[in-house]
Structure 1
Amino acid sequence: MRILPNRKKRRADMRPALLIPDVITGTDIRIPLGLHLLVSGTTGSGKTNLLLAILTALICHVEAGDVCLLAIDLKDGVSANAVKNLYTSIAGTIEETVALLQKVRRLITSRNQWLKENFLLEVKPSQKHPLVIIMIDEALQLYGATDPDIIKQQRKAQDLLDQILLMGRNTAVMVIAAIQDPRKEAFKLRERFPERIALRLNDKAEAVMAMNQVAITQGAAPWLIPTGSPGLTWFYDTDEHMAIRFQSPYISIHDLQAETANLHPIDASRLFPDAPQLPHKEEQ
């Protein structure tokens, strides 16, 4: 008897997800954990608050030790430092970014070797090998330098990020990036993100690039979001194949700081040891 359809449905139902409260309906929006997520929106559209809502939803996972958060914040790390207790490591310069991405790339290599040795296809996130989430605020700052030395570092970072986006899913590494301009010529790695969220955008063409044509056909219209409605958001659910309109709640940075004051994220020396070790297959 063929049971593949049932298996497919169970996978979708059991996929770990972030639960973001929707103030419009009073329900939670499920955003898959482990699939790279791109957040697009113009200045003032509410990206910062949405990222804070995502971080709030991750607190319990960081506390449990099954998620490790890394930050790339090329505004000298100011935004990430405001909630530093959530992060194992913060990169505030392009040099620090390259160094951090190199560590993650080596971690992926180590986890891939472990998968091959144990005849497995993917790393299941746990306390022993947590899901690593790289939060990139204003990812377009990885581009556009004019100084030759900085351009060289940016290209290194872009190449490393591309490798991580290609190889991260099976090794429990996820990237959440925020951008203002969804055009491919501005952010060349856009197509590496299967999950898309769009806040207010300038026009329909940008919306198609930020999400996809299917989402727009199903009613997603981020270019029609009023300027006075920051935080109003469209998300295309790839499990249910539907466009969802929602609004995340306002997150007070002071409340988030208070909630994470005693939080102890995974130590970087445990995540990135000289010779990373993963548990044997039977310990999964």
Structure 2
Amino acid sequence: MLGNSSAGASQVQRPTAPVPAQAVRFTTPVVETPGIFILTGWLWRFLRLLVLLPVQFPVSVATVAVSVTVYVLTGWLGLAALWTITDIALLVWWRRWPHSFKARVALRALATWRRFWIYRRHWQPVLVVSGLAESYLERQYLPQIRGVTCSAWADRVRVKLVAGTAPAEFEQRVSELAHGFGAPSCRVEVRGPRDLVLEFPRRDMLAEQIDALPVPDDPQDVDLGALPVGRCEDGQPWNLRLHGTHVLTVGVTGAGKGSVLWSTIRAMVPAIDAGAAQVWAIDPKRMELSYGRNLFARYADAADEAVSLLEDAVGAMQERAERYAGRKRVHVPNTRDPFVVVVLDEVAFLTAYHPEREIRRRAENAIATLTSQGRSVGFCVLAALQDPRKEVLNLRNLFPDKIALRLDEASQVDMVLGDGARDRGGNAHLIDPDLPGVAFVKLEGSPAPVRVRAAFVTDADIDHMAESYAASRAEDSV
């Protein structure tokens, strides 16, 4: 008995382990949707499809309706005859008027196919993975495809945004959208409130080298505000404005800065020949611009000569401004007051890399004066640069128009094209090194950078221009 009592006492005194507190779990009650509501939803979608289908796809619906009607009235023989006649008519249309057939039939059929097979099929997964789908009260909301149109080179997908979202969210995800839909790139165009267009190129229109563009025959055909220098990504001409602005071209070695400079000069040759325009060239490398010395009113390669040329340009600009003061506000190119383009290759040599501080100071002062005061009196600076950092050229904001060729770093894109340019698709740092002359620019009226390519002007083209101009000047002197 004693043994049992002691054993019981020891059992009572044994400490017990604490029981951990259980976390409170909240569960959302699951309520089954009545079947009548599900059937009503399906019926509503079906009726909505029947109403909207003829509006969205009138040609397809009309084709099916006519085919069914002919089959009911005449049977298989009548339907076969109808389609045979239709095929012959389409064939004649295609052979006789190919451009009209392509615009009204082929591209529309392609747009319908790509709308369903490419965009509608992948729309939800691409937008969800890229972070463009919105959620509210455990329900997912997606931007809606309002339509797809096709051009010769790209698809344009019109999108209705979810209320409360902004186009900037799409602009920041152009890379994800391009890869998601298998396109080389993506560009966002804002049409209005909650209305934007996504442009997806189907092929690269700039993959092949562009030969030097033809020189206009008549000086009257030269528009100094829209000089043809290459091609845009959509196949349209790339026209560079010089009159009334200044242009800064930035790109690494081999990116194609020479193509931009020489294509611009080539487009001006008739005006140069007529005396309505002049080119003052500075070539510190003595390699890029030296081929065309006969085309230039002034040429310098040594640093001291280059600075003197810049200061002479400032003097000529100020003399012209003094004559214009109180008399005229708009410069019109003519032989007395020609449009002067100061072409400055490797501008960093004069502003940052030259060992003499006085040379750098004088060059910066002259360039700043020209770019801040020269536009209204017919003076333009067309400069080329490799490194866009402030410590190399702290005057880049004085150039209203900038061209971003292939760059070294992603951060340099915004330095050249402005804040947010890379988010809008201006990926100049990703340009293929095998595509010299390809660049991103901002065209007037469009905040999104546009991909372009400058024509390639060969040494033979430059020699021919210089010789023809020299012969023309010799004939005029006689």
Question: What TM-score, normalized by structure 1, do the two folds share?
Answer: 0.81
- Note the aligned Cα RMSD (angstroms): 2.2
Larger RCO: 1 or 2 (CA < 8 Å, sep 6+)? 1
Deviation at 1:214, TM superposition (A): 4.8
Cα distance change on mapping 1:141 and 1:24 into 2, 3 Å = same
Aligned with residue 40 of structure 1, among 232, 244, 250: 250
After TM superposition, the structure 1 = structure 2 runs for residues 80-91 of structure 1, keeping only pairs within 5 Å, are 80-91=289-300
Q: Distance in 1 between matches of 2:404 and 2:310?
A: 26
Aligned with residue 260 of structure 2, among 45, 50, 66: 50
CA contact (8 A) 1:195 1:238 kept: no
Instruction: Give unpaired runs (5+ residues) of structure 2.
Output: 1-222, 474-478
CA contact (8 A) 1:66 1:127 kept: yes
Cα distance change on mapping 1:66 and 1:242 into 2, 3 Å = farther
Deviation at 1:260, TM superposition (A): 2.5
CA deviation digits over 1:54-109, x for unaligned, max 9? 2221212212221100011112x343221112101111111111211121111111
Q: Does 1:220 align with 2:426?
A: yes
Partner of 2:274: 64
Q: Distance in 2 between matches of 1:193 and 1:219?
A: 22
* Residues 37-46 or 216-225, more deviating: 216-225
CA contact (8 A) 1:72 1:137 kept: yes
Q: Distance in 1 between matches of 2:232 and 2:365?
A: 39
Aligned with residue 306 of structure 2, among 86, 97, 100: 97
CA deviation digits over 1:1-48, x for unaligned, max 9? xxxxxxxxxxxxx98221123185543112112210000001111112
Q: Distance in 2 between matches of 1:202 and 1:129?
A: 40
Give the paired residue count.
Answer: 249
Structure 1 counterpart SS, 2:352: coil
Deviation at 1:220, TM superposition (A): 1.4
CA contact (8 A) 2:280 2:343 kept: yes
Partner of 1:249: 455
Larger Rg: 2
Partner of 2:389: 183
Q: Distance in 1 between matches of 2:234 and 2:427?
A: 18
After TM superposition, the structure 1 = structure 2 runs for residues 163-174 of structure 1, keeping only pairs within 5 Å, are 163-174=369-380
Partner of 2:362: 156
CA contact (8 A) 2:351 2:363 kept: no
CA contact (8 A) 2:232 2:450 kept: no
Partner of 2:342: 134
Structure 2 counterpart SS, 1:153: helix
CA deviation digits over 1:212-259, x for unaligned, max 9? 125434321101111222211111113444422111222211122113
Deviation at 1:131, TM superposition (A): 0.7
Q: Distance in 2 between matches of 1:19 and 1:62?
A: 16
Partner of 1:282: none
Aligned with residue 230 of structure 2, among 21, 25, 34: 21
Comparing both structures, which one devotes a greater share of its residues to helix? 2
Partner of 1:280: none
Instruction: Give unpaired runs (5+ residues) of structure 1.
Output: 1-13, 268-284
Q: Distance in 2 between matches of 1:84 and 1:39?
A: 21
